[in-house]
Each structure stands twice: as C-alpha cells, then as structure tokens.
Amino acid sequence: MGSSLNWIDWLVIALLLGITVSIGLYFTRRAGKDINSFFVSERALPWYLSGSSMIATSFAADTPLWVSALIRQYGVYYVWQYWAPVIGAGLAIVLFARLWRRMGVLTDIEFIECRYSGKFAGTLRFWSGTSSALIFCPLIIGWVTKAMETISRETMGLPSEYKIWTTIIVVCVALTMCTLSGLWGIVYADFFLFIIATAGTTTLAILSIHHVGGLHAMVEKLSSMHGWAGHNLNIAPSIGSNAAQMSIWNAIGYFGILWIMVAVSGGYQAQRLLACKDGRHATFAIMMHSIIYYGIVCWPWIIVGLCSLIVIPELGHGITNDSAYPRMIITILPIGLRGLLVAALLAAFISTISTMFNWGASYLVNDVYKRFIVKKGSTKHYIWIARIATVMMAAGGGLISFFAHDIQQLLTIFYVVGSGMIVVSVMRWFWWRLNAAGDLAATLAAWIIAPLLLFAKIFDVPARIIFNLDREIEFSSDPNLVGARMLFMTISITAIAVVVSYLTKPTDLERLKDFVHRARPFKLFWKPVVGQMQIEYCEYEGLGRTLVSWIFSAGCIITLIFGIGKLLLGHPLTGVCLLCVFGILLYITVQRINKDFLNERIIDAGDVKKLSKKEIITIK
C-alpha cells in the first residue's frame, strides 16, 4: 500500500518533531540543575502552564480513537465512561489540589513517609515506587502506543513492516526531549503540542460536519439509524439491562468508584500540582484542566465519531472501531491538512508518553534509588540515573503494547487494578487510624487479587452464585461487569486495610501531628490527633463549605458538557441556557476559591480576628 500522505504532510510532521526536540535542547541546562528542577520545575509553574500540560497529557493519541469507538458501538450517552470522573474533578478543584501543594513533596509516593512512620512505611514507599514505575507507567505508555500503531496503519498507509518503526521514531523524539529537559521542557512542549492537537482535531470536526451536510443534516441522518444503539442522540447516561444500555454494574464502577481516583489527583497530576508556585496556582491549574478536558476538547472527537457512522458505516472485517477516527482523517481531509491532523495526534502522543517517562522516572529516582540505594549521590549522578530510568519506562511500555490486543483491553485492566486502592488513597488523608501496615497489606493484596481475578479467573464460579450470572458469563472478562470487578476490588482491599490497621499499632503521634500541621485536613476526622497538639488548630477550609463548593464546581463542568452537547445535537436554545448557567456557576466557584485563599493567608498571618464570626466557625 502506498503512503496516504503527501510530501507536504510529511513536512508538517517533520516540523512538529523538530520543534519538540528543539524545546528539549533549550531547557537541557535548566533541567540539569538538580532533581527538583528535573521533576517539579523548581516549583515555579504558573497555573496556565501546569493546567495546559495536564490537558495535553490527558489528551493522549488514544483518547479520540477510544471516544469515537464508544460512540460507534453505543452512542453519545456511553461517553460517560469518559465524563464520569467530572464528579471527582470538582472535588479536586476545591480540595485535593491545594492539599497536595501544601505537602511540598517531590512525588505523591514520597507522601507515604510523611503520613506514616516505621519500617512498614519505608517498605510501602519502596514497593509503591517500584510497581508504579515498572507496571502502571508502562501500562499507560502501552495503550497510547497501541493507538499510535493504529494511527500509523490507517493514516500513513505504510507497509506493515514499517509501522512499528514509525512508532519507534516518534517515541525516540519524545524520549530525547524529556531526557534532556525534564519537566521544564515537557510543560512548555505540552503547551505548544496542546494548541496543535486542539487546532487539528477541531479542524477535522468542522470539515466532517461540512462533509455530511451540516449539523442539522447530521442529526437527521443519525436519528434515522434505528439499527444503531445511539440513534436518539441522548447525552444523559442510559442505564439498564438492554444491549444498548450501560449495565448497572458499570454505572456503579464509573459513577461510584472511578471518580474517586480522579478526585485524589495522584500520579502525574500530583506531579504538576506539586510543581506549581503555590496552592492557588495548583487549584486553578486543575480547574483549567477539568473544564477544558471534560467539557470542551472532547466534543470535536464526538462529532467526528458521529460523522464517521454516516461517512464510513462499515470498517471492514476484523477492523475494530478504534480505526474509525484515523480513517476519517484520510477520507475527509485534503493534502496538507492530513499532515496537520496526523501531527496533532502525534502531538497528543508525545505529550502523554513524555509525561509518563518523566513521572515514572521520578518514582525510580526519588522513591527507590535515592531513598534506598544511593542516599548521598551527587546532583549530576541523580540526573543521569533519571535519564536512564526514563529509557526503562519506554522499553516497558513498548513491550506491553506489543502483546496487547486493543486500547479498551488495557484500559479495563487499569480500571480494575487501580480501583482496589481508591478508597485507601482517600483514607490516607481523612482517617488518622490508617497506618503503614494496613496500607501495605492492602497494596500487596491488590497486586495479588487483581491477577487472580483477571487472568487466573478463580473468582468466576463464586461470582456466578453471588451475582446470579448465567453459566456462559465470565466475571473476569465480561464487558458489562467491569464495574462489578471494580466494586469487588474496592470492597475487599478496603476491608483488608481497615482490619490490619486496627490489629496493629497506630502511626507515631508526632508523625501524625506533623502531617496535620502541613496538610490541614478536616478536624472532624483527626480529633484524636488535634486534641494532642499544643497549638490551636485552624482548618483552611471547613467540611461544610468544601461540600458546597464541590457542588458548584462539579455542576459547573456538567452544565458545560450538556450545554455544548445540546447546542450541537439539535437543541440550541436549551444549550444556550445551560451555557449561561455554566457561566454563573464558574463565577461563583472562582469567587469561593479566592475567598478560601484569602482566609488561608489570614490564618497563616495569625490574624484570625479579621474573619467574621461565621467564617471563624467554618474554619476552626
């Protein structure tokens, strides 16, 4: 098969790759100062750089392919598998972003030894750093690399023996950039790559609408496709037992469990928040990410997925729905713009894997190598170890991608494995009695139970009895039972953490006091510790106020999702009204955030008298 791209397209792609490497070269010296500079940009990031970097990382090359595949198979309502985390994003905006920045650690795993004491805390940190760097990071790299292979197959038209080399070249570009420049180069490259990716995907959406005859024609044609599950174009989730509905178990998983993971904002998001100038910048960074990523950038992908049902209703035997999006690039776009779109998806790919490389390397260097192996190495030594660890991330991700079948398979594994520790990760902040022994037992149990569940399938028979399943249904792999598997992991692992914590000694009181002083969690959950502190304890934000702010922030994003959706899918008046509500909720949320940080500055200055009686009651 000949190439589907013209020399102009290849020139655009080459220009993108060249600029990306140049950014890495530019920041090489600045990143090489020390590991603080290499991994958290000297904690000097403004909110817009941190926010755009999080968007670019989340906007991976696989995401448009995955979203358009969900639409082709189920309908717009099933995109709630992507949107469900907005519940947690709202809580991240009003609470967790500022909690992370207050801790001031280098990685979210270093947090473990700020929260716990004793040998178990060190063991937990070592295991968490190693497993996250060598399993979780490569898993994410694997599924975005899988998407890159699909893109190269469908858009470049290269012979099969060259497809893998296309992916390798792009990975090497990202690897070069992030090994040279660390997080400094990554965030600036992300800012550039985010603009390219957004411009490209929006262009494809606009031209796709034009190709099918406009928005009105698109809605009419889709509504007449009664053989397609989503022909009613509902945006609200449809939950039930029919084949065209989201199963009740998956609804429990996505709306009851998955959002908690997003709320805690660990991993690469914590890295970006820890790199911000202060808590206020961290808060507005996560707000920027949540609003744009969940409410805006997804709609061009959705539109392309909808148009693909009209333009290419059949993809061919053995071809998965992941291929629809890249096929639309070749079908819809003229020469030149094809290169822009391929460059946009390459930009999304580079921004994601470069973050995974740097994030995973931060664990290996800060939480494993520097903490347990070479404790007093030179700055230059640690920087070189960081660069070697980055290469290890790339190799692990490539290996997983080679053996994986498709994107959804890897994503499902991630959901199930990650769900085990979701509640425990929240308990670290809000339950003083959780200790390192309980956390370690839960962590190890999660890594034992998940493979037994997913691959050994030892829970299939008892699950059929408990959930009253038909004999032919496999609990370990049925796509309608993803949420049930997540719930099973969550309950079992949380129970282990609670039981072991109660059977072992509490964390050292002085360690708990220091944690409370740094993080300022809600007093309600830390009364035994706060009662032992020698100073009067003032919360920066009260529990009641935070819950109200959470409603406003989550409602803000949800009204934006529905507002844009109604505007595009045949209900413009409703859409405009919802967008007006979004504007009002956004204004209220920003005002409440500003008030929170004003109160924080007053408390830090020791001048609580400036607060009204109502505010003192809220904060104390």
Quick one: which of 550, 549, 560 has its CA closest to 582? 560
Residue 616 burial by CB count (10 A; 0-12/13-18/19+): exposed, middle or buried? middle
Determine the pLDDT at residue 286. Answer: 97
Tally of CB atoms within 10 A around 543: 16
Cα distance between the two ends of the chain: 69
Q: Per-residue b/e over 158-173, b at no fewer than 16 CB within 10 Å? A: beeeebbebbeebbeb
Give the 3-state DSSP-derived string for 104-132, with helices as H, strands as E and coil as C. Answer: CCCCCCCHHHHHCCCHHHHHHHHHHHHHH
Determine the pLDDT at residue 615. Answer: 47
Give the rounded percent of residues in the chain with a pLDDT score beyond 90. Answer: 49
**Inter-residue contact 481 to 472 (CB < 8 Å):** no
pLDDT-wise least confident of 113-127, 161-175, 481-495, 514-528 = 161-175
Reply yes or no on whether the pLDDT at 471 is more than 90: no
User: Directed axis angle between helix 337-362 and helix 324-332, to 10°?
Assistant: 150
Reply yes or no on whether the pLDDT at 274 is more than 70: yes
Determine the pLDDT at residue 129. Answer: 92
| Local structure of 521: helix, strand or coil | coil
Summarize pLDDT for 409-419 with one digit per residue, the tens: 556 677 777 78
Reply yes or no on whether the pLDDT at 479 is more than 70: yes
Model pTM? 0.89
Reply yes or no on whether the pLDDT at 160 is more than 70: no
**Inter-residue contact 245 to 326 (CB < 8 Å):** no
Best mean pLDDT range from 15-19, 234-238, 526-530, 614-618: 526-530
Tally of CB atoms within 10 A around 25: 13
DSSP per residue, 177-233:
HHHHHHHHHHHHHHHHHHHHHHHHHHHHHHHHHHHTT-HHHHHHHHHT-TTSTTTT-
Determine the pLDDT at residue 128. Answer: 93
Helices (H), 363-481: 379-403, 407-419, 422-430, 436-451, 460-466
User: Measured between alpha carbons, how far is 577 from 369 in angstroms, rounded to an integer?
Assistant: 54
Determine the pLDDT at residue 516. Answer: 94
Q: Is the dihedral of CA 317, 318, 320, 326 positive or negative?
A: negative
**Inter-residue contact 233 to 569 (CB < 8 Å):** yes
What angle (nearest 5°) sits at the alpha carbon of residue 202, between those of residues 201 and 207? Answer: 100
Q: Is the dihedral of CA 389, 143, 263, 199 positive or negative?
A: positive
The token duo for 399 is 């290996």
The token duo for 580 is 């007006």
Quick one: which of 163, 162, 190 has its CA closest to 174? 190
User: Measured between alpha carbons, how far is 127 from 129 in angstroms, rounded to an integer?
Assistant: 5
Phi/psi for 562 (5° steps) reads -70, -35
Helices (H), 452-571: 460-466, 482-503, 509-519, 527-530, 543-568
**Inter-residue contact 141 to 356 (CB < 8 Å):** yes
Amino acid at 562: F
Q: Is the dihedral of CA 117, 120, 123, 125 positive or negative?
A: negative
- 60 against 514, higher pLDDT: 514
Reply yes or no on whether the pLDDT at 609 is more than 70: no
At 399, the pLDDT band (50, 70, 90 cuts) reads low
Quick one: which of 29, 26, 46, 47 has its CA closest to 38? 29
Determine the pLDDT at residue 616. Answer: 42
Summarize pLDDT for 311-370 with one digit per residue, the tens: 999 887 767 788 899 899 889 988 878 888 888 777 777 788 888 888 888 998 999 999
User: Measured between alpha carbons, how far is 457 from 476 in angstroms, rounded to an integer?
Assistant: 6
Conformational region of residue 548, where left means phi above 0, alpha means psi within -120 to 50, and beta covers everything else: alpha
Determine the pLDDT at residue 620. Answer: 38
Quick one: which of 171, 143, 163, 164 has its CA closest to 69? 143
The token duo for 193 is 């790559």
At 608, the pLDDT band (50, 70, 90 cuts) reads low
Quick one: which of 489, 506, 320, 541 has its CA closest to 431? 506
Amino acid at 214: G
Give the rounded percent of residues in the chain with a pLDDT score beyond 70. Answer: 90
At 402, the pLDDT band (50, 70, 90 cuts) reads low
Quick one: which of 155, 200, 164 has its CA closest to 3? 155
CA distances from 511 to 4, 109, 488, 527 (A): 61, 16, 32, 15
The token duo for 24 is 């890495």
Summarize pLDDT for 546-567 with one digit per residue, the tens: 999 999 999 999 999 999 999 9
Average pLDDT score, the chain: 86
Phi/psi for 520 (5° steps) reads 55, 55
At 614, the pLDDT band (50, 70, 90 cuts) reads very low
Residue 479 burial by CB count (10 A; 0-12/13-18/19+): exposed, middle or buried? exposed
Reply yes or no on whether the pLDDT at 155 is more than 90: no
Reply yes or no on whether the pLDDT at 398 is more than 70: no
